[in-house]
A and B are shown apart, each in its own frame.
Chain A
Amino acid sequence: TAGITQAPTSQILAAGRSMTLRCTQDMRHNAMYWYRQDLGLGLRLIHYSNTAGTTGKGEVPDGYSVSRANTDDFPLTLASAVPSQTSVYFCASSDSSNTEAFFGQGTRLTVV
């Protein structure tokens, strides 16, 4: 079972360019999340989706957008990247009971 998969694993992106981070899960989980992890800080929630067709803003949503066209996929888009978006991004999913959250392996993004 693949679980939850992110792509790419890492990326160097020029400031001002756009990029979409991909996240796919095969566990049929309703809820999906995007977090960023920066040195010395906990994982911070960017956006979330409780179910297909719905999304919501987390703690640090500015500069990011998401969509949830189906249950399996939850892409994160940076419309115009800035250096402060250099971070490691984690996608996660959980079932309706939210008793367990599963994380992808992360995407290391460097904006230069």
Chain B
Amino acid sequence: KNQVEQSPQSLIILEGKNCTLQCNYTVSPFSNLRWYKQDTGRGPVSLTIMTFSENTKSNGRYTATLDADTKQSSLHITASQLSDSASYICVVTLETGRRALTFGSGTRLQVQP
């Protein structure tokens, strides 16, 4: 069964600090990996997307990395802000006829002043 596992489940950091969220996946065959940000009560919004040939992608203070050999990805947030408080979801796309999205359960990040 295809799976996407994220760690930690939740994280509390102080404003201005950096943090790194982890994603391990067993989805195969792999098409692409995305990180989404989901604010409370809202739908997920895409932060980054990487194909298997890419190993890093940045979007402002967010930097995602991908190791397709070990099937691991990370999302690094630099100089965190209060507005970064949200759930961060790792999503892997199967390279199949219907290209289903497989979601991790997310990491809940809380940035405190």
Interface residues of B in 80-99 (CB under 8 A from A): 89, 91, 93, 98-99
Interface core residue of A99, A100, A105 (most chain B CB under 10 Å): A99
Chain B binding surface SS class: strand
Residues on B with C-beta less than 8 A from A42 are 4, 89, 102-106
* Given known A-B contacts A40-B105, A90-B43, A99-B32, A48 and B98 have beta carbons under 8 A apart: yes
Once A42-B89, A43-B103, A106-B41 are accepted as A-B contacts, the answer to whether A50 and B98 lie under 8 Å apart by CB is yes
- Chain A 22-62 interface mask (CB, 8 Å, partner B; 1/0): 00000000010101000011111100101000001010000
**CB within 8 Å for A101 and B101 given contacts A42-B4, A42-B89, A106-B41:** yes
Nearest B residue to A50, CB-CB: B98
What CA separation (Å) do A44 and B43 show in the bound complex?
A: 14
Q: Determine the interface band of chain B, counting residues with CB < 8 A from chain A.
A: 20 to 34
Q: Are A43 and B49 in contact (CB under 8 A)?
A: no
**Given A41-B105, A42-B89, A42-B104 in contact, is the A98-B43 Cβ separation under 8 Å?**
no
CA–CA, A106 to B39, complex, Å? 12
Residues of chain A contacted by B4 (CB below 8 angstroms):
42
Least CB distance, B107 to chain A, in whole angstroms: 11
User: Whole-angstrom distance between the alpha carbons of A48 and B41 in the complex?
Assistant: 23
For residue B85, give the distance in angstroms from its CB to the closest CB of chain A.
18
* Smallest Cβ-Cβ distance to A35: which chain B residue: B103
Q: List 5 A-B contacts (CB under 8 A).
A: A31-B99, A42-B106, A98-B31, A99-B32, A105-B42
